[in-house]
Structure 1
Amino acid sequence: MSVPGQTMGMAVFTDPLMDAFDLSRTQLSTAYFFGTVGSAFFLTRGGRWFDRFGARTVIVGASLALGSALVFISLIDFAALPLAAATGAAVGWFSFPLIMLGYFGVRFAGQGILTSASRNVLLLWFERRRGLVSGMRGIFVSLGFSLAPLLLAFMIDGFGWRGALWVLAGVVGVLFAGFALLLVRDTPESCGLLPDGDSAEQAAASPTLRVVDRTLHQAAADPVFWIYSLALAVHSVFITAVTFHIVSVFEEAGRGRVEALGYFFPAAIVSTSVNLLVSWLADRHRLKPFLILMLSAFLVGTLGLYRLDATWGFWLMVLGLGSGGGLWGMLSNLSFVRFFGRRHLGEITGLNTSITVFASAIGPLLFSLGLDLFGSYRPAYALCAFVVAGLLVAAVVIRQPDPQVSS
C-alpha cells in the first residue's frame, strides 16, 4: 500500500504531471528531491508516534494522510492555473511549490511512516520466527513493487492521471485504512497473547533471549547502529541512482533500452530468493556475517557496472546488486530490533529511515553530477565503491556482540 509514496510509484506519473503542471523534467525532479529530503527530517518523530500511539493508530493515520496527499496532487493544476491567469505569471511558478508539498506528503506518509510501521508491527508479533516472517513479507513486497509500475500505467491509460490518483487515494485512504483499523493490533501482549503465538507453557519450555530495550539516544551512541544505518543507506544511494538512470547507464555501456529494462527481472528473482534464504538463516545466526556479505555483494555489483559492456559484467551486476538487495531487505527488517529491543523500535527505525530516505534523494543527483562533470558514470561508481569498501572494513572491525539478555 505504500507504492504511491515510493519512487517506482510516482515515477509512472512523471510525464503526465509535467504536462499538467507546466514543469520541465528537471523542475519536477528538483521538486521530488526537496520533497523527499524534507520528509526525511520528520521521520524520527514519526517513529516516536509508533512507540507512543501504537501500530494500528499510526498505520491508519498514515494511510489517511497518504490518500489525502494523492488527492492534493490531483488538484494542483486547479489551483495553479487560476493563479497564473490572475497574475500573468507562468503556471510553473505556482505548481512547483505545490507539487513539492505533495511529494513531501506522499514520501513522508508512504515511503516513511506506512512502510516503517507495517514492518515494525510484524517484528513485535514474532521473535523466534522474525526472520522467516520478514522473508515471507519480502516476497509480497517484491511482487507488489515489480507489478506496480505496469498496473499504474494501465490505470493512467484507463482513467487518466487524475483518475488514477483518485483510485489510489480510495484504495489506500479508505479501503486499506478501514482494513487496518479492523484487523491490526499493536502487540500480542495487548491481546493477552505471547509472540509467535506461543502459550505460556511453550514460552517457558523454549525461552527466547530478550534484548534489553534501549532508547534512541543510547542506540545513536552505539557504533553498531551507525555501521548498519550507513550500510543500508549506501544501498539506497546506489540502487536508487542506478534505477533512476538505468537506461542512460546501459547506453554508456553500448546497450539499449530493452536490455536496460530487462535487468530488473533477473535481479528481482535473485533478490527475492536470497532474501527468503537469509531471512530464514538469520533466525539461527548472528547478523554480522550477513552485513559483510551484503557489502561484498555491492562491490561485486559495482565491478559488473564497470564492465557492463561485457556479458559477464551484466551478470555480475545482476548477481551482486540482486543478492545485495536481498540481504539489505533482511538486515533492514531485523538489525535494529535484534540489537536495541522493541520498546523504542519506532523511534530508532525512524532515524534509520530518515537517513535512508535522505540517501535515496541524493543518489540520482550524485550520478547526474558525475555524468555532467566527467562525461561518464564511472567516477560515481568509483566513489560508491570506495565508500562501500570503507564500510566493509568497519563491518569486519567493529565488534557486534550478541544482544544482552534482561533478567
Structure 2
Amino acid sequence: MTNPTPARLHRRHLATVAGAACLMVAGNFVFFGITILLPELATALGAELSQVMLYPSLQALAGVFAMSLLAPRLYRAIGVRAAIVAGAIWMVATLALSGVVDNLPLLYLAGFASGITYGLVTTMAASLLINTWFEERRGTMMGAVFAIAGFGGIAAGLVMPAVVEGWGHQVGFFVLAAVLALLVILPGIFIIRSSPGDVGLLPFGASTEGQLTAAGGVPLPRVIPGVPAGRAFRSAHFLALAAAIVGFGIANSIQQHFPALFVERGVTLAVAGTLMSLMALTTVFTNIAIGTINDRRGTLTAVLIALAAQAAALLTFAAASGFLPLAAGTVAFAIGMSFSSVLLPITVMQLFGPRDYAAILGPAMSTLPAGMAIGAPLWGAVASSSGSYALPLLISAGVSACSALLVAWAIRTAPAFR
C-alpha cells in the first residue's frame, strides 16, 4: 500500500503568498499612515486631537460588525478575489473622501465607511487565502506574510511625515488611497485567486489519495470536512476561543500606553519611540519564528510560547527600570503579538476545519478589536487611580495566562469535538 501523494508546491501557491503579503503591507501602511495624519488633520479642521481620534475608533467599530456579518457573506456570494477588489475600490473612495472633508461629522462618516472593508481586504482576506491554499506550512507562510507586513508600517513612518509636512493631510489621504489601489486592487486582479481549484490545483500538501478528476486530470471538488458554522458558534470551544481573544486584546492594548509607560520606567520620550520601533522591527522575525514553530511543533506549542512571552513581557515592564530591561520586555512583547497575527487564523482552522472557515473566522477575529477597545481606556483609568502602570501590567499578565489556558483547552479537546 502506497502513501498518499501530497500536492506539490506550484508557482501559484507562491503567488498567493505574495498577493497576501501585498494586502498586509497596504493595510499596515494605511493604519500607520492615518495615525501620522491625525495631528495635521486636527489642526486643519480646528478641532482637538481627541475629537479627530474618533476617526480610527469608528474604523475599528465598523470593522467589528463587518468582519462578523458582512465579510463571510460577501466571500461566499462573490468569492474572496472579487470581494478584495470590490472592498478595496470602496476603501480607496472613502480614503479620498477623508482627504476633502471640512467638518467633523463628515470625517466620522468617512472613517466608519472606510472601516467597513478595511479588515475584509487586509487581515481577514490574507488569513483566508493562506489557509485555503496551504494545508502544510501554514504557519511558515502566515508568518512570512505578517513579517513582510511590518515593512508597510516602516514605509509609512518614512514617507508619510514628509508628505504631510510638504503637502498637507489632503495629499496624505490621496497617497494612502493610491497605495491601497497599487497593493490591493492590482494584485486582486492579476495575482490573487480565491482557491487552488480556480486554477486546477490542490492546496499545497493536500493528499491526492482518492481524488476524483475530470477530463484532462483537473481535480473535482472534494467533500470539505469541518464543523458547520451554526454548531461552531454554539460550542464551548468557540466561546473559549472568543474569550481568549478578548482577553488577549485587553492585555495587548497596554501597548497604546507604551510611550507614557516607558517614560514612567525611566527613559525619555525619544527613547520610548526607539523602543516602539524596536518592537515593530522585531515582529518581522518573530512572526516567521512562531509560524515555523507552529509547523514543526504544533499550534498548541506555538500558542503557549506566544502568550507566555506576552505575560513575561508585561511582568518585565512592571519590574523594569532603564533601557535594557525595557528592550528585553519589548522583544518578548513582539513575540506575543504573533498570537493575533499568525496563530489566530490557524487556531480557527484547527478547531473547526475548512468547511465554514470564512464564516467562523470573521466573528472570531472581530473579538480582537472589541478586547482592545475595552482594554485601552481601562488601563488608563487604572493607572490614573493607582498612580502608576504597575497594577495594569500585573493584571494584564494574569489575563494573558487565562487566555493561554482557554486556548490550550480548546485545542486539546478539538479532535473529540470535530
Aligned to 1:325: 337
Kept in 2: contact 1:51–1:344 (CA 8 A): no
Structure 2 residue runs of 5 or longer lacking an equivalent are 1-25, 213-222
- Residue 149 of structure 1 aligns with which residue? 157
Query: When the two structures are aligned, how many residues end up with a matched partner?
Result: 383
Q: 1:86 — aligned with what?
A: none
| Secondary structure, aligned partner of 2:406 | helix
Q: Distance in 1 between matches of 2:120 and 2:153?
A: 16
Corresponding position of 2:192: 184
Could you tell me whether the CA contact under 8 Å between 1:155 and 1:164 is conserved in 2?
yes
2:319 and 2:191 mapped to 1: Cα distance? 49
Q: Distance in 1 between matches of 2:149 and 2:54?
A: 28
Establish whether residue 387 from structure 1 lines up as the match of residue 399 from structure 2.
Answer: yes
- Residues 14-40 of structure 1, C-alpha deviations (whole Å, 9 max, x = no match): 111111222212222245334422431
* Match of residue 44 from structure 2: 20
User: How far off is 1:4 after superposition?
Assistant: 5.5
**Alignment of structure 1 residues 255-334 onto 2, 5 Å:** 255-311=267-323, 313-334=325-346
Q: Which residue of 1 aligns with 2:238?
A: 225
Task: Indicate the residue corresponding to 1:168 in structure 2.
Answer: 176
Amino acid across the alignment from 1:121: L
For 1:11-160, what aligned pairs fall within 5 Å after superposition? 11-45=35-69, 46-77=71-102, 80=103, 95=104, 97-160=105-168
1:47-90: CA deviation from partner (whole Å, max 9, x where unpaired): 3312332111111012112111101111211xx3xxxxxxxxxx
The Cα shift of 1:249 comes to: 1.2
1:12 CA drift (Å): 0.5
Specify the alignment match of 1:92 in structure 2. none
Larger displacement relative to structure 2 (63-72 or 382-391): 382-391
Q: Is the CA contact (8 Å cut-off) linking 1:211 and 1:339 kept in structure 2?
A: no
Asked if the contact 1:271–1:324 (Cα under 8 Å) also holds between the matched residues in 2, the reply is no
Q: Which amino acid aligns with 1:56?
A: R
SS of 1:212's partner is coil
AA of the residue aligned to 1:64: I
Give a deviation string over 1:211-259, Cα, whole Å, max 9, x none.
72223322223333344444344443333442x3322111212211121
Decide which moves more: 356-365 or 396-405. Answer: 396-405
Q: Distance in 1 between matches of 2:337 and 2:324?
A: 19
Structure 1 residue 405, shift from structure 2 partner = 12
Q: What displacement does 1:371 show?
A: 3.4
Measure how far apart 1:321 and its partner are: 0.5
What amino acid maps onto 1:248 in structure 2? A
CA distance in 2, matches of 1:378, 1:31: 30
1:295, 1:324 within 8 Å by CA — same for their partners in 2? yes
Distance 1:65 1:176, change over 3 A: same
User: Could you tell me whether the CA contact under 8 Å between 1:286 and 1:402 is conserved in 2?
Assistant: no
How far residue 112 of structure 1 moved from its aligned partner, in angstroms, is: 4.5
Task: Determine whether 1:343 maps to 2:355.
Answer: yes
Q: Structure 1 residues 266, 128: CA separation in 2 closer, same or farther (over 3 Å shift)?
A: same
- Cα deviation, residue 288, structure 1: 1.8
CA distance in 2, matches of 1:335, 1:347: 14
Distance 1:273 1:299, change over 3 A: same
> Aligned equivalents of 2:357 and 2:408: distance in 1?
25
In structure 2, relative to structure 1, the CA distance for the partners of 1:265 and 1:47 (3 Å cut) is same
Contact 2:84/2:188 (CA < 8 Å) preserved in 1? yes
Amino acid at match of 1:261: G
The one-letter amino acid of 2:349's match is V
Match of 2:229 in 1: 216
Change in Cα spacing, 1:25 to 1:218, as seen in structure 2 (3 Å) is: same
With over 3 angstroms needed to count, the CA separation of the structure-2 counterparts of 1:288 and 1:177, relative to structure 1, is: same
The 1:11–1:203 alpha-carbon spacing in structure 2 relative to 1, beyond 3 Å, is same
Contact 1:112–1:353 (CA<8 Å) still a contact in 2?
Answer: no
Counterpart amino acid of residue 291 in structure 1: V
CA–CA distance in structure 2, aligned partners of residues 175 and 31 of structure 1: 23
Q: How far does residue 327 in structure 1 lie from its aligned partner after superposition?
A: 4.3
Percent identity of paired positions between Structure 1 and Structure 2: 20
Structure 1 position 398, deviation (Å) = 4.9
Q: How does 1:220-259 map to 2 (within 5 A)?
A: 220-242=233-255, 244-259=256-271
The answer on whether the counterparts of 1:300 and 1:320 sit within 8 Å (CA) in structure 2 is yes
Seen in structure 2, the aligned counterparts of structure 1 residues 4 and 72 have a Cα distance that, compared at 3 Å, is farther
Aligned CA-pair RMSD? 3.0
Distance 1:151 1:281 in 2: 34
Which TM-score applies when normalising by structure 1?
0.84
Q: Distance in 2 between matches of 1:203 and 1:128?
A: 18
3-state SS of 1:156 partner: helix
Contact 2:287 2:342 in 1 (8 A): yes
Q: Deviations over 1:107-130 (max 9, x none)?
A: 332235432112211211111121
In the superposition, the TM-score normalised over structure 2's length comes to: 0.82
Q: SS of the counterpart of 1:376?
A: coil
Aligned AA (2:47): L
Which residue of 2 is the match for residue 372 of structure 1? 384
Change (3 A) 1:142 1:115: same
Task: Compute the displacement of 1:264 (Å).
Answer: 2.7
